[in-house]
Amino acid sequence: MSSSPADKAADRLRGHPPETLAAYRAYEQTRQPAYLDELVLRILVFLLPEPPEQPVTELPDSTRLREDLGVDSITIAELVFMLEDLFDLTIQNEELVDLATVADLRRFIRQKISESK
């Protein structure tokens, strides 16, 4: 069994593009929110049938999760499942209802992680 959070993250992100684990590690080392944003969006686009053409770090705040990226409710559930595991969070269903854009998602995850510290 994995013990440290870093080991656990490496295990959970097996098979994902290496940039995703790199973003996790960068965030853990620096606590820069930009790395957290990148991590969340990299996990999200990995789950999509047709990832967006532009790099995740360049996705505009106004990008709509459902209409522009093709995110559905089960994809959000999978993203949340991963983030709960990586950061030992608990996220309730009702907290997900209002997530409509990339900006909403960034704001929400940043807030959840700051609350959990």
Give me the residues that bind another protein (CB under 8 A), please.
14-16, 47-49, 74, 77-78, 81, 84-85, 90
Closest CB 88 distance from another protein, rounded Å: 10
Closest CB 92 distance from another protein, rounded Å: 11
66 vs 103, beta carbon nearer another protein: 66
Listed as own residue / partner, the contacts of 58-65 with beta carbons closer than 8 Å and 24 or more positions apart are 59/102, 60/102, 61/101, 61/102, 61/103, 61/106, 62/101, 62/102, 62/103, 63/101, 63/102, 64/100, 64/101, 65/99, 65/100, 65/101, 65/102, 65/104, 65/105
6 vs 96, beta carbon nearer another protein: 96
Closest CB 104 distance from another protein, rounded Å: 20
61 vs 72, beta carbon nearer another protein: 72
